[in-house]
């Protein structure tokens, strides 16, 4: 069965409806990306999957004993709260030392366990968040704009890390991203959201859908160009940045 099944979900904040009649499923091992303009309900959708938002209609069903790893959009740690990376990773359940090292290595930051969270750079911080999400050996990884505040090489590297994690652990990934040109190529499936599901399918199908073009306009062409570029030619991944910059 699916890892997560969202059926006919509606979410309201007071009088404002942010999501109406959204249905989607996430299957084992697939990378699904949610794209959509600001205020389209992307974060609300993710928050209702983790149970932080109560649906006003419809329901969210998780497969039994589903292990979820969640990387929030941003995390502010108050400067009065002392916190080492190792302590942060052990919250709330506790973790063994080898397990901790493994998660940090998977997230690409093997040497940080003794550092203070407040001293990390933006990129290191996001990877530590990813490591924490990986601690529980999740079957489903939820990422809410996990590369916010990173520069383009930084976020491209971050998404490559996600693909590596998926390859190594087999977990499914459901993520929100603004960086269409980066995530389109990495996704198995794209869901275009604007309060409701506008269109969904493989990246190529979505990128050429009229609903998607209506929402994202000319930016779409760049994304599509890069997408095709990535897949039509044999290429060296090390030159990825060059391609990205050239496409803009």
Partner 1 sequence: MLDDFMMRATLAGVGVALAAAPLGCFVVWRRMAYFGDATAHAAILGVALSLALSISVFAGAMVIALLMALTVNLLTGRGYAMDTLLGVLAHSALAFGLVAVSFLSGIRIDLMAYLFGDILAVSRMDLAVIWGGAALVVGLISWRWSPLLTATLNEDLAHASGINPKREQLVLTLALAITVAVAIKVVGVLLIAAMLIIPAAAARPLSRTPESMALVAAGIGSVSALVGLRAAYIFDTPAGPSIVCVAAVIFAVLSIAGSVRTSTQ
Strand partners, 197: 193
Which of 47/181 has CB closer to partner 1?
Answer: 47
- State the SS3 of 4-38: EEEEEEEEEECCEEEEEEEEEEECCCCEEEEECCC
Which of 77/157 has CB closer to partner 1?
Answer: 77
Shortest distance, position 68 Cβ to partner 1, whole Å? 6
Contact flag: residue 87 with partner 1 (CB under 8 A): yes
Shortest distance, position 139 Cβ to partner 1, whole Å? 13
Which of 50/157 has CB closer to partner 1?
Answer: 50
Which residue, 169, 166, 148, 147, is CA-closest to 158?
147
Which range, of 85-93, 105-113, 156-164, 189-197, touches partner 1 by CB under 8 A?
A: 85-93
Contact flag: residue 75 with partner 1 (CB under 8 A): yes
Sheet holding 189-193, edge to edge: 68-71, 140-144, 172-176, 31-35, 189-193, 197-201
CB atoms within 10 A of CB 164: 13
Which of 78/248 has CB closer to partner 1?
Answer: 78
Size of the residue set binding partner 1 (CB under 8 A): 25
Contact flag: residue 68 with partner 1 (CB under 8 A): yes
Which of 126/244 has CB closer to partner 1?
Answer: 126
Shortest distance, position 207 Cβ to partner 1, whole Å? 30
Query: CA-based diameter of the chain, in Å?
Result: 52
Q: DSSP letter at 51?
A: T
Shortest distance, position 213 Cβ to partner 1, whole Å? 32
Contact flag: residue 72 with partner 1 (CB under 8 A): yes
Contact flag: residue 66 with partner 1 (CB under 8 A): no
Question: Cα(27)–Cα(215) distance, rounded to whole angstroms?
Answer: 27
Question: Cα(97)–Cα(22) distance, rounded to whole angstroms?
Answer: 41
Which of 73/169 has CB closer to partner 1?
Answer: 73
- Interaction residues for partner 1, span 134-193 (CB under 8 A): 142
Question: Cα(95)–Cα(136) distance, rounded to whole angstroms?
Answer: 9
Which residue, 84, 80, 129, 81, is CA-closest to 104?
129
Shortest distance, position 144 Cβ to partner 1, whole Å? 8
Any idea of the CA torsion for 135, 138, 144, 150, to the nearest 10 degrees?
Answer: 50
Kindly list the residues in this chain that would bind partner 1 in the complex (CB under 8 A).
Answer: 47, 50-52, 68-70, 72, 75-78, 80-84, 87-88, 91-94, 116, 142
């Amino acid at each position: 069965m699916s890892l997560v099944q969202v059926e006919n979900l509606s979410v309201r904040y007071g009088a404002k409806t942010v999501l109406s009649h959204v249905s989607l499923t996430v299957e084992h091992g697939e990378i699904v990306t949610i794209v959509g303009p600001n205020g389209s309900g992307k974060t609300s959708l993710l928050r209702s999957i983790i149970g932080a938002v109560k649906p006003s209609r419809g329901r969210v069903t998780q497969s039994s004993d589903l292990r979820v790893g969640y990387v929030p959009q941003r995390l502010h740690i108050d400067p009065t709260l002392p916190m080492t990376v190792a302590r942060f990773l052990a919250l709330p359940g506790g973790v063994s030392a080898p397990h901790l090292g493994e998660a940090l290595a998977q997230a690409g930051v093997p040497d940080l366990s003794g550092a203070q969270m407040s001293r990390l750079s933006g990129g290191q911080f996001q990877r530590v968040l990813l490591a924490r999400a990986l601690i529980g050996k999740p079957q489903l990884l939820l990422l809410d704009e996990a590369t916010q505040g990173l520069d383009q090489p930084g976020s491209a590297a971050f998404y490559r890390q996600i693909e590596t994690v998926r390859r190594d652990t087999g977990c499914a990934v459901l993520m929100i991203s603004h960086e269409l040109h980066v995530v389109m190529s990495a996704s198995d499936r794209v869901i275009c959201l604007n309060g409701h599901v506008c269109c969904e399918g493989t990246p190529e199908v979505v990128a050429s859908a009229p609903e998607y073009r209506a929402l994202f306009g000319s930016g779409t062409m760049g994304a599509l160009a890069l997408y095709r570029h990535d897949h039509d030619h044999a290429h060296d991944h090390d030159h990825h940045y060059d391609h990205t910059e050239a496409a803009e």
